[in-house]
Copies of this chain bind each other. A is one copy, B any other.
Amino acid sequence: MATVAYLGPAGTFSEAAVRRLGDVDALPARSIPEALDLVRDGAVDSALVPLENSLEGSVPVTLDNLLSGPPLRIVGEVVLPVSFALTARVPLDEVRTVASHPHALAQCRAFLRAKLPHATTVEVLSTAAAARAVAEGTVDAGICAPIAATTLGLPLAAEDIGDRPDTATRFVQVVTGAPGPAPTGNDVTSLAVYIAHDRVGALLSVLTELAVRGVNLTRIESRPTGERLGRYVFLLDCAGHVAEPRVGEALLGLRRVCAEIRFLGSYPRDVDDAPVPAPAGMSDADLLASEAWLSGLRGMFQA
């Protein structure tokens, strides 16, 4: 069975994400860098790490490690709805202490004000630790992932208690040498591009390369390069797969205008959205027709 490292401890949203991969042997790591190094060292087949909108605050660590560490390739993603639950050992009106990770407490402020206005909040290192604290009896209640409570046999006193419904965490599965997934028609390509930050219009050039090929940008983030605050690398998620003509051509263009480019992977999207269709004249059939036209023109010339 394939082994997958993830950010432990067991019982967090990260474990819930791993379960979405099917029948795998899930191995909790103590940190994201440790999970990624387990892949690099060959100790596991892959790792599943949070990339975006994590409530545990770990995304910058993932990004920086993927950018500056030995190369890893993203082969899949898991978008996990984040649904907070309250587990309690006592009836709600008797709860005097409620534990969770600071971010989870922050995300559930409206619930806490309305339902537990007199409870004291206790900050712990993870939502799983909050569930364990309830199980161990050190606090009356905890905010955690439903999976954490059920794993420990704890009751769910309230579900979906976050201030913002429909939040989610996006995890990516990374590997070293294995072949990447074939195109599915609804893929993402992740890239890191480095540009000289003080040239007006440098990023404009980058985006023009995408727009000209009708390639949609679904996410962009500038990150300091570590050399110094103010020197940036841009992380881009583009719709499509490197094997598709449009995306391939856009990558060629990006490589020309960027100081450096790191290809992070092409992989299927884990969302229900239909892919945005190619703009007029940009379908694969259109591109093939264009290529045939150009070949015809070139055939009229002396070698």
Interface residues of chain A, those whose CB is within 8 Å of chain B, are 30-33, 52-53, 56-61, 73, 79, 102-103, 105-106, 109, 121, 123-125, 164, 166-168, 170, 179-182, 197-198, 200-201, 203-204, 207-212, 214-222, 224, 226-230, 232, 234, 241-243, 248-249, 251-253, 255-257, 263, 266, 271, 273, 276, 279, 281-282, 286-287, 290-291, 293-294, 297-298, 300-303
Contacts and interface: CB of A to CB of B under 8 A. Distances in A.
A298 B31 contact: no
A218 to B, nearest CB: 7
Contact of A212 (B57, B73, B212, B298): B212
11 contacts: A32-B106, A33-B109, A52-B224, A53-B60, A57-B57, A59-B60, A61-B106, A170-B229, A200-B276, A212-B212, A263-B297
B255 A180 contact: no
Nearest to A82: B229
Contacts of A106: 31-33, 61
Q: Is the interface of A mostly helix, strand, loop or mixed?
A: mixed
Contacts of A251: 294, 297
A303 B215 CA distance: 22
Contacts of A52: 224, 229
A279 B32 CA distance: 42
Given A124-B125, A220-B203, A279-B200, A103 B61 contact: yes
